[in-house]
C-alpha cells in the first residue's frame, strides 16, 4: 500500500512553542463527510445504486490508488469535502486517494478499508461495504483478510 505524505522541505523554520497546539489542531481530522465514487461493477459495490456516496472519515491516512486499475473500487473525488473541516494540505492529499484497496495475496485477497464503514454504528451509508467485504469473497471461495485503519483482522 502506498501512503500519501506531505513532502518535507530541506529545512524547517523555527516556530514559537506557544503556537504548537493551534498548529496541530488545524491539521487534525476529527470527523468529516467526504464524497467518493464507486466502480459499481466491482463486487464490493454490490447493492449500491449510486456512483457517488458520502463517506465518513476521521483519520489522516491517504492511500494512493495502486497500479492495478481494478484494485480501487472506491476513490475520493477531486472535490471531496461535503461537510466538516479538513486543512488545505490534507485536502490536497485526499483528492483521488483510495478509500478501499483490494490486494491479491497468495490464493486469497486482502481488503484494505482505509476508513471505518461502521463508524460508531450510526454511519449507515457505507455499512453495506463492510458486509460485502466480509461475505462476498467467501462466496467465491477466496480466502480473505481485511484491514481496517491498519488494524489486521483475519476473518
- pLDDT (tens digit, 0 to 9) for every residue of the chain, 155 residues total? 777 766 656 666 777 777 666 666 566 677 889 999 999 999 899 999 999 999 999 888 899 999 999 999 999 999 999 999 888 988 999 999 999 999 887 777 788 898 888 876 666 778 888 888 888 765 455 555 555 444 444 43
pLDDT at 40: 93
Phi, psi of 138 (to 5 degrees): -70, -30
pLDDT at 153: 41
pLDDT at 53: 95
Is residue 71 within 8 Å of residue 2, measured between CB atoms? no
Pairing of strands 143-148, 98-105: unpaired
What residues are paired with 3 via a beta bridge?
A: 63
Is residue 1 within 8 Å of residue 99, measured between CB atoms? no
Cell of 63: 492511500
pTM of the model: 0.75
Which of 30, 78, 95, 91 has its CA nearest to residue 57? 30
Give the three-state DSSP class for 138: helix
CA distance 119 to 122: 6
The structural domains of the chain, with segments of one domain joined by +, span 29-154
| Contact residues for 124 (Cβ-Cβ < 8 A; gap 6+) | none
Cell of 138: 467467501
Cell of 101: 484497496
Amino acid at each position: 500500500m502506498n501512503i500519501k505524505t506531505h513532502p518535507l522541505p530541506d529545512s524547517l523554520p523555527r516556530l514559537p512553542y506557544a503556537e504548537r497546539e493551534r498548529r496541530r489542531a488545524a491539521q487534525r481530522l476529527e470527523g468529516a463527510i467526504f464524497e467518493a465514487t464507486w466502480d459499481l461493477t466491482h463486487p464490493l459495490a454490490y447493492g449500491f445504486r449510486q456512483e457517488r456516496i458520502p463517506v465518513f472519515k476521521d483519520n489522516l491516512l491517504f492511500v494512493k490508488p495502486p497500479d492495478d486499475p481494478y484494485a480501487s473500487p472506491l476513490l475520493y473525488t477531486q472535490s471531496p469535502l461535503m461537510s466538516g473541516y479538513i486543512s488545505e494540505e490534507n485536502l490536497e492529499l485526499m483528492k483521488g486517494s483510495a478509500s478501499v484497496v483490494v490486494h491479491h495475496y497468495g490464493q486469497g485477497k486482502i481488503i484494505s478499508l482505509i476508513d471505518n464503514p461502521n463508524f460508531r454504528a450510526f454511519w449507515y451509508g457505507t455499512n453495506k461495504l463492510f458486509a460485502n467485504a466480509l461475505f462476498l469473497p467467501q462466496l467465491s471461495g477466496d480466502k480473505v483478510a481485511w484491514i481496517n485503519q491498519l488494524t489486521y483482522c483475519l476473518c
